[in-house]
Amino acid sequence: MKPVTLKDIAKQLGISITTASKALKNYPDVSDKTKKIVKELAVKLNYVPNSFAIGLRKQESKTIGVIIPTMVHYFFSTVLDAIIKEAESRNYMVIILQSNEDYQTEKKQVDLLLNKGVDGILISLSNKTRDFKHLQKIMDYNIPLILFDKIAKLVNCSKVLIDDRKAAYSAVSYLINTGRKRIAHFRGDLNPQNSIDRFLGYKKALEDHGIPYDSSLIYLCNNNSDFTDGYSSAKQLLLDHGDNVDAIFTVNDMLAIGAINYFNENGIKIPDQIALFGFSNWFMASVITPSLSSVEQNAYKIGKRSSEILFEEIERKKKGEPIVYQKVIIDTELVLRNSS
């Protein structure tokens, strides 16, 4: 069946389309009697407002776009939960896209969202993103852009993130204060800013506690969203250093859990022989044996604040008001468990 339109309702009742529209929106200049008959007929005919047509009139789509590197990561699924709830509370639809840590895919997805006419875009950059022209393109289109978690310092827009360097410093300092002196670091790709900052926080903690930095204790995990990378790095660590390592700080929980699996399979006692500290407080951190100490990133707060700022900027744009870019740092905390 052909969808019922506002014109159909107006024609059947012998009133203008404007009057029918006002009646449905409870305008005070329409009588209660007219409102009642219009609403009753709308229900009877199963009338649904055409949001696309409304959007064209108001020059808005009531849609936002979100690009994340991966769907399976607990951190990003939690961020998305917050974004979707915030959007739904404002009657916005969310288009969610996954870059798979690929720059070219991320570029295409930005074009897709621009072509869809979204009112704003939230992005956590892929590990491979080194050029930011596609982000500038969003700004050139006058579309509000918020970067979260994995950001680009050179892009002039609002950003929501944690202090990765400070959080890493706290985790490694904790390990040192519990007597650990030979602390390895399983780091992520060389490019992402959060990977860089977590490495620098690790290095600074060693320096401030008088422990010499040893580059042989750094293991680059390019596929840092995979348990197998943590497993293989733990194996290589023991081949390289034997029992001359007493702790590992990992760039995320998945690497730490992969390492725990290797140590458990090979009879290495955690934390007696080696302690582990992860990052992001993934739900698996609390159920693996031994449970994993981790940095709580407060992903839900990141998602909620990112979307709040985006909607603030969308509203300011609609009103023709200037947008002042914000940089919001979400607090982190150490969650101590049996692995340390």
How confident is the model over 254-273, as a mean pLDDT? Answer: 97
From CA 11, how far away is CA 255, in angstroms rounded?
65
The pLDDT confidence band at residue 226, using thresholds 50, 70 and 90, is confident
From CA 28, how far away is CA 282, in angstroms rounded?
52
pLDDT of residue 215: 97
How confident is the model over 175-202, as a mean pLDDT? Answer: 93
Tell me the whole-structure pTM to 2 decimals: 0.81
pLDDT beyond 80 at 48: no
pLDDT beyond 90 at 51: no
How confident is the model over 62-75, as a mean pLDDT? Answer: 90
How confident is the model over 167-194, as a mean pLDDT? Answer: 94
Neighbours of 80 (CB within 10 A): 18
- What DSSP string runs through 285-307? GGTSSSPPEEEE--HHHHHHHHH
Q: How far is CA 50 from CA 14, 34, 54, 188, 321, in A?
A: 21, 22, 6, 47, 28
Integer-rounded Cα radius of gyration of the chain: 26
Q: Please, which residues bridge with residue 158 across strands? A: 146
The pLDDT confidence band at residue 56, using thresholds 50, 70 and 90, is very low
- Classify residue 133 by burial, with Cβ atoms within 10 Å: 0-12, 13-18, 19+: exposed
Work out the percent of the chain whose per-residue pLDDT is above 90: 76
Neighbours of 18 (CB within 10 A): 12
CB 63 within 8 A of CB 119: yes
- Classify residue 338 by burial, with Cβ atoms within 10 Å: 0-12, 13-18, 19+: middle
- What DSSP string runs through 122-157? EE---TT----HHHHHHHHTT--EEEESS--TTS-S
| Amino acid (1-letter code) at residue 34 | T
pLDDT of residue 327: 97
Work out the percent of the chain whose per-residue pLDDT is above 70: 95
289-305 residue pLDDT tens: 999 999 999 999 999 99
pLDDT beyond 80 at 1: no
107-137 residue pLDDT tens: 999 999 998 889 999 999 998 899 999 999 9
pLDDT beyond 70 at 3: yes
pLDDT of residue 46: 81
The pLDDT confidence band at residue 47, using thresholds 50, 70 and 90, is confident
From CA 167, how far away is CA 331, in angstroms rounded?
9
pLDDT of residue 44: 87
79-90 residue pLDDT tens: 999 999 999 999
pLDDT beyond 50 at 95: yes
How confident is the model over 269-291, as a mean pLDDT? Answer: 96
